[in-house]
Amino acid sequence: MDKISIIIPCLNEQEAIPVYYRAMVKVMDQMRGIAFELLFVDDGSNDGTLEILRNISTMDRRCRYLSFSRNFGKEAAIYAGLSNVSGNLIVVMDVDLQDPPELILQMYQIMHREDVDCVAARRSDRKGEPGIRSLLSRGFYRCINKIAHTQIVSGARDFRMMNRQMADAVLSLSEYNRFSKGIFQWVGFRTKWLEYPNAERCAGETKWSLRKLTGYAVEGIVGMTTEPLRWSLKAGMLLCAAGTVMAVVSGIDFMTGNNRMMGLLLILCVILLVGGLQLISMGIIGEYLSKTYLEVKNRPVFIIKESSDSVCGKVCRHSKEKTA
Ligand code: UDP
Ligand code: MG
C-alpha cells in the first residue's frame, strides 16, 4: 500500500492550520486505500500554532508535528520534514492553501500513470501578488537561470510529490545554506510540471518581507553558482586594461606637451569607479566566504525542541537524530 507523507512548514499560522486541515481531510477521504502522514513543522512560531498542532495530533493519528527551538526558515523546515517522514511518496506544501490540496490526487495519479519521479507544481500566473514582488521575482529567476547551470522553471513552487529515491537524494545534500528550489533541480530525476492558477492565501499574512526575499535571492545565487566570483576577476581585468590605455594616452599627452588630460574631475571619476568596483568585488567574495564559513562550522540545519513523537520527554537536538 502507498503511503503519502506530507511536510507542511508553519510559521505563525494559527488561522490557516484549521482551514488547511479541513481541506486535507476532504482529500484524504477521497483517496481511500492510501495511508497518509501529515508532518507539520512549526518553525519557531510565537502565536498559537504549536497549541493547535498539539491538539490536531492528539485528535488525528495521521497528524504529527515537530517544533523548532526558534525560527530556522522554511528551507530548514523542509529538510527537517524530509528527515522525519516514512512514506514512499513525499509531498512538500505550504499551509496557506496557496498550494491547492486537490492537486495531490492529480499528482498521485500522474506518479502512477507516467514514468516520473516527481510531479511538481508551477503557477501559470501571479494574479493577486503585489506588482513589485512579481517584478523582482521574475528578475531574480531570469538572472539565476542566466548565470547558473541548474535551471529553475519559471513560477516553480516547492509544492511537489516525489518518490523516496528522490527525497533521499535531496536529503543527501546536507548543506547549511539551503535553497530548496535549486536543490530539487540539482538532484535531477524525471519531473513533470503541473500548472495551476495562482491562489490567494486562505488566512494570515505572508511571512516573506522584501528583506527576507532579498536574502533568499542572494542565498539562491550564492548556493547555485560561483559565477559572480568570476565577474570580479573580469571587471578587474577590464579596469587594468582601461588603466593601461589611459596611462599610455596620458604619457603621449604629456610628451607632446599638451597636458589636457590631467583634469581633477577625470582623476576623481577613476578613483570612485575603481574604489566602487573593488568594494563590490570584496562584497561578492565576502558573501561566498561567509557561506563557506557557516558550512565549515557544520552547525545543525535545525534544532527540534518538541515533537509529537517525544512522548517520554525526549528532545531531539540534531538534524541527523530522528524523532521517529
Ligand atoms: N514559512 C516557514 N518559515 C518561514 C517562513 C515561512 O515555515 O520562515 C512557511 C509558512 O508558514 C508557509 C510557507 O512557509 O506555510 C510559505 O510561506 P508564505 O505563505 O508566507 O510565503 P509566500 O507564499 O508568500 O511566498
Ligand atoms: Mg503563501
- Candidate from 52, 96, 97 with most ligand 1 atoms within 8 A of CB, to mutate: 96
Q: Check whether 321 has a pLDDT greater than 70.
A: no
* Separation of CA 208 and ligand 1 centre (Å): 7
Taking the C-alpha atoms of residue 213 and residue 135, their distance in angstroms, rounded to an integer, is 12
Q: Check whether 112 has a pLDDT greater than 80.
A: yes
Given this model, what pLDDT does residue 239 score? 85
Instruction: Calculate the alpha carbon distances from 19 to 23, 203, 278, 300 in Å.
Output: 6, 8, 52, 32
Beta bridge partners, 92, equal 7, 160
User: What is the b/e burial string over 42-68, where b = at least 16 CB atoms within 10 angstroms of the residue's CB?
Assistant: bbbbeeebbebbeebbeeeebbbbbbb
Taking the C-alpha atoms of residue 96 and residue 79, their distance in angstroms, rounded to an integer, is 19
Given this model, what pLDDT does residue 314 score? 40
SS3 labels along 181-241: HHHHHHCCCCEEEEEECCCCCCCCCCCCCHHHHHHHHHHHHHHHCCHHHHHHHHHHHHHHH
Given this model, what pLDDT does residue 316 score? 41
pLDDT-based confidence at residue 137 (cuts at 50, 70, 90): confident
* Separation of CA 148 and ligand 2 centre (Å): 26
> 4 versus 319: which is more confidently predicted?
4
Taking the C-alpha atoms of residue 40 and residue 55, their distance in angstroms, rounded to an integer, is 12
Q: Which string of DSSP letters, residue by residue, matches 63-120?
A: EEEEEESS---HHHHHHHHHTT---SEEEE--SSSSS-TTHHHHHHHHHHHSS-SEEE
Counting ligands in written order, the one closest to the CA of 97 is 2
pLDDT-based confidence at residue 260 (cuts at 50, 70, 90): low
Task: Give the rounded percent of residues in the chain with a pLDDT score beyond 70.
Answer: 93
Nearby residues for ligand 2 (ion, Cβ within 5 Å): 94, 96, 98
* Separation of CA 69 and ligand 1 centre (Å): 17
Cβ < 6 A, ligand 1 pocket: 9-11, 13, 43, 71, 73-74, 77, 94-96, 98, 206-208
Q: Check whether 296 has a pLDDT greater than 90.
A: no
Q: How far is CA 221 from the centre of its chain?
A: 11
Task: Give the rounded percent of residues in the chain with a pLDDT score beyond 90.
Answer: 48
Beta bridge partners, 196, equal 123
Given this model, what pLDDT does residue 155 score? 84
Over residues 221-235, mean pLDDT = 86
* Separation of CA 98 and ligand 2 centre (Å): 6
pLDDT in tens, 67-104: 999 999 999 999 999 999 999 999 999 999 999 999 99
| Residue type, position 175, single letter | E
Cell numbers standing for residue 276: 566602487
Taking the C-alpha atoms of residue 117 and residue 168, their distance in angstroms, rounded to an integer, is 12
Q: Check whether 261 has a pLDDT greater than 70.
A: no
- Candidate from 24, 50, 94, 304 with most ligand 1 atoms within 8 A of CB, to mutate: 94
Q: How far is CA 88 from the centre of its chain?
A: 23
Counting ligands in written order, the one closest to the CA of 205 is 1
- Candidate from 20, 207, 209 with most ligand 1 atoms within 8 A of CB, to mutate: 207
Over residues 280-293, mean pLDDT = 88
Given this model, what pLDDT does residue 313 score? 39
Counting ligands in written order, the one closest to the CA of 70 is 1
Count of beta carbons in the 10 Å neighbourhood of residue 285:
13
- For the chain, how long is the longest CA-to-CA vector? 93
DSSP secondary structure letter of residue 35 = E
User: What is the b/e burial string over 248-272, where b = at least 16 CB atoms within 10 angstroms of the residue's CB?
Assistant: eeeeeeeeeeeeeeeeeeeeeeeee
User: What is the b/e burial string over 221-233, where b = at least 16 CB atoms within 10 angstroms of the residue's CB?
Assistant: bbbbbeebeeebe
* Separation of CA 66 and ligand 2 centre (Å): 20
Over residues 145-163, mean pLDDT = 88
pLDDT in tens, 6-47: 999 999 999 999 999 999 999 999 998 999 999 999 999 999
Taking the C-alpha atoms of residue 37 and residue 60, their distance in angstroms, rounded to an integer, is 10
Take atom 3 of ligand 1 and give the residue whose Cα is closest. Answer: 74
